[in-house]
Chains A and B, each alone.
Chain A
Amino acid sequence: MSKLIRMDQTGHSTLAEWTPGDPVAVEAAVEAFRAELERGYLAMVSTGPGHAEQVRELPVDAPLVILRLPIAGG
């Protein structure tokens, strides 16, 4: 079961859960994914220990997609 989660003031919220074989769940996840990107979130997937990649389309096979906000120098 893959998950789309957003880091927010609650700790994190699970926005969607899907399996690649369930097109309805995937479609709902894609919609949620795009809506969050439009709100300014950036999507990240882990690509091994110590590595992550930013993605602009929902990687359906990824077990976990995390939405983060932009960072800036303090």
Chain B
Amino acid sequence: MAVEAQPLEVLPEAAAVHWRPRVDDARLRYLGGLWTLTTVGHVVPFAAAAAVLMWLQPLALPVALACLAHAWVIPELYAQRGANVVRPRRRAAEEPERRSVGLLGDLVGHEARELHARTGLVLERGRLGTWLVGEAGAVLLHGRRRRAYCYCVKVDARAVAEATGDGELPSGDRIAHLLLALRADEQGFATVANLTFAGARWRLRRRLAMPLRPALDAAVTSIDTVSSPLG
């Protein structure tokens, strides 16, 4: 016979990455700082090299331009890697898609449901910040500056293969898996997920596909509404 529910506070999947420090506000600030340093470390040497080349020999303009291109491209590639986590994946058949989106709709409120219908992303407020959850990853807006943290995380492919054979989960289920894990243990979720990018929100927004950008805007608006004393 059944007994009372016994909640487990830590996401069990976190055991698979036991060496990682559990993500909290301080850890996010630390990681964000590291990413800023990395970006500066890429941009400044190339920009400085371009300036020195031009100072030494103006005929080196093509090389200097190549250096500047590197200084621009490398951060953009990182931001693109971040944007890729919320890129829509291949769709399943129509009926499973419909059923999975129906279940997902039952898990979220009206506004999140509407945003998902428009963008394919689900907005979820947590203690660490505001999340946008996609099919194979999530974006966290954290801190006063709303820095974007992009996490690559998905349903374990081995588990899917064992449970469904060679079947694939429809998009709504993929998001619902992540959403339920996030709701159960937000810090554990961020610990299990792989951080692919942390940086300025505008850099991420520029690399997001156009249909997804309203979701990022809605997340910012959501934070501002909650933060505002008039909101």
Contact = CB atoms under 8 A, between A and B. Distances in A.
Given A7-B100, A10-B96, A62-B5, A71 B169 contact: no
A12 B177 CA distance: 12
Given A50-B124, A53-B184, A74-B85, A69 B2 contact: no
A53 B7 CA distance: 6
23 contacts: A9-B96, A9-B164, A9-B169, A10-B99, A11-B95, A11-B103, A12-B99, A30-B1, A50-B124, A53-B5, A57-B6, A62-B5, A66-B176, A68-B176, A69-B155, A70-B13, A70-B155, A71-B156, A72-B192, A73-B152, A73-B153, A74-B85, A74-B152
Contacts of A46: 107, 183
Interface of B: 1-8, 11-13, 16-17, 85, 92, 95-100, 102-103, 106-107, 109, 124-126, 136-137, 151-157, 159-160, 162-164, 167-170, 172-173, 176-178, 180-181, 183-184, 189, 192-194
A72 B153 contact: yes
**Pairs of residues from A and B, 3 with the lowest C-beta to C-beta distance, nearest first:** A11-B99, A9-B167, A59-B5
B105 to A, nearest CB: 12
Interface residues of A, number: 42
Contact of A53 (B8, B97, B167): B8
A73 B153 CA distance: 4
Nearest to A55: B5
